[in-house]
Every structure is written in C-alpha cells, then in structure tokens.
Amino acid sequence: MSLPLQGIKVVELGQLIAGPFAAKILAEFGAEVIKVEPPLTGDPLRKWRLLHNGTSVWWAVQSRNKQSVTLDLRQPQAQEMARRLIRDADVLVENFRPGTLEGWGLSWEVLHALNPKLIMLRVSGYGQTGPYRDRPGFGVIGEAMGGLRHLSGEAGRTPVRVGVSIGDSLSALHGVIGILLALRHREQNGGDGQQIDVALYESVFNMMESLIPEYSVFDSVREPAGSSLPGIAPSNAYRCNDGKYALIAGNGDSIFRRLMEKIGRADLASDPELQHNDGRVRHVARIDAAISTWTAERSMDEVLAALNEARIPAGKIYDAADIASDPHYQARNMLLQGTLDDGTPVTLPGIVPKLQDTPGQVRSSAPTLGQHTDAVLEAHGINASTRAEWRRLGII
C-alpha cells in the first residue's frame, strides 16, 4: 500500500518531545525519517520517565519508524554531513533554541540556498522573532504563557500541570499541519520550500477558545473552574455512592431535558428559564445539586448504564489500567502490540488520524542509538575508513 507521505524524506535534528513527535507522525504515514542524535548520549528522551534496560519505554513510541544517525553537530565535519543529508531532503525538523542552527552553519538562508525545495519546521519556546526569542522555553512555560496553566486546577489553589507535556504535543501537531500546508504549496508553486515558525506558547494560545474576546469585550478574566465547564451547563464530574465520579455533559437543549427526565426532575426539564444554555448557566448550582443528589444514590456503573441508555453523554475517568483493558480501544486498534529490543512485550499507542484507504503504519521499531549511522553515511558518500576516523574523533 502506498502511504500518503511515501517518498518524502525528513531529517530530524530535534530532541525530546515537540520536534520528534512531529516527525513521528510524518513517519507513521510513510515519510522516511532520519533522526540525528549526539554520539554516546543520544536524544535525552532515551532516559526520560520509566526505563527498561536503561532505555525509556517512551522511546519505543516516539521513535518508531525512524532511522538513528549519530553526529556531533558541534564539529565541522558533522555539520557538513548534516548539510549532505539536508541537500536531498524534503523536510527538516528542529526544536533548538533560536540561533543554535545558525551557530552550526545550518541557518535557513544557507540551507535554502543549498536545497530550495526544503521545508524547515522550527519549534521553539517563543518563536524565531520577538523580544523573548532568545529565552529558553520548555512546554510548561509555553503552557503558562499561552493561558492554559492559569485555568488548570481548582479555584483559589495553586495552578496545576495538565498531566502531560501538552504544550510540546500541540506544537508538534501545529508543526505537522504547517508541513502539510507547505508541501501542498510547494506542489502548486514550482518547488520552493519555506520556513515554518512554531512557538510553544502560540500553539497553546491557539486552543484558548474565547479567552481573549471575552476579556476585550467584557473585561472578564476566565478563572480555573475545577471539573466544571464554565459558561456551559450542565457539564461536570458528579460523585457516585462508590466514591467514583461520573462525567456528565447534559449541555445540549434536548439532552438537558432528557437528563432531567432521567433523574426524576421533570420540573427542571420543563422550566422555561432552563430551556437554553444561557438560562441554565444562571442556575447551574441548582442543576448540579439535582444531578449530584441522583448520582449519590447510585454506583458509577449504574449511573453510566442509565445515562447511556438515555443517550446522554457520560463517561468515567480513565487511568492507564482502564485504557489497557477497554474493548473500544482494542476494537479501534489504539493498543498495538510490539516488543522492546530484548523481546519484552510492550503495548504502544495506535496511530491517529485513521485514514480509510491509506492508514498509517508501524514499519519498524524504535532504533538503538546510531543503528543506521553506517548505512546512511555510506549512502551519502562517507566510506568505511572515514567513518572509522570520525568515530575515533567522536564525530559520530
């Protein structure tokens, strides 16, 4: 089967999350991805979170379908080798601090002159321009500056982290969108590539819904609201008699009426003031109290069974164990079985999005450090004796 990005060559100079996650998605849909890592240490993600035989199991997800080549980009020979790789690439992905590639002789101007068709994704904390461009920026900082951290958690308490590196992942997704748009533009306009500037904080800010319009029109600063969905009612987490919580979203007009009928509150279902969302928001405390009274008399499973039968959106709060055993995840191939280097079985996330005719694939497992260095360098004109000398010097 021909995948959508088959024939597209990607050079990944990034590390950790944002750049590599973007390249992972491209690889899943057919792109050839050559990942450049520092010799000896490799991408720091290899040592993040839980390790198996010294390597993160996260690595098995983030780097599948990629080839690993080691180059010490601080050394001139490695910089020249990188230019050789980039000369015939379609896409370059990097997420270093602005100015880093320029210091290595790998600026956009140099690379564009070398390869006019090149598309260059640059992910950084604050973008390639502006007064903050030179500041170091990680995902948590982008999440804070983008407005998300302020809204996370309970009112009056310390703002909390979302739980995953969402700023990096959102930036990766925006980067993939940019790459696909640039590929389309290149296809239509005679072969020229372009630079894509993705800032972590802007990727988060792009998700902030009506945050700024509400501030500009009403001088309203949105505040954290815990498990509720401010301005949209009812939508909250409701405690059940087994101590678990059911998430219930009864915020469509007809859904709300069905929900009130289901919990035995026909009076609220027919209340003229509650027929539309703006009225329900004014009375959200009364509505939440009615729902909470009903859920408090039932187990979470009983609550969900009743609401699903009535076609009311409801669900439980999944942890990793719930996901791993859920039949819907399995039916939609969102839990893929693989193995680590030593043959240890591992369950990995499936591929998203799901294309009907050309779905993404896992064609190879995550590489060991430098696994493809010899093959890739040989293909680009570096013979065995030169590679041996470069190894002696720590260039590869």
Which of 43, 90, 168, 197 is the catalytic position?
168
Strand partners, 67: 34
Is 168 annotated as catalytic? yes
Distances (CA, A) of 396 to 34, 82, 174: 14, 12, 32
Contact (CB, 8 A) for 117 and 36: no
Q: Is 244 exposed, middle or buried (0-12, 13-18, 19+ CB in 10 A)?
A: middle
Annotated active-site positions, please?
Answer: 168
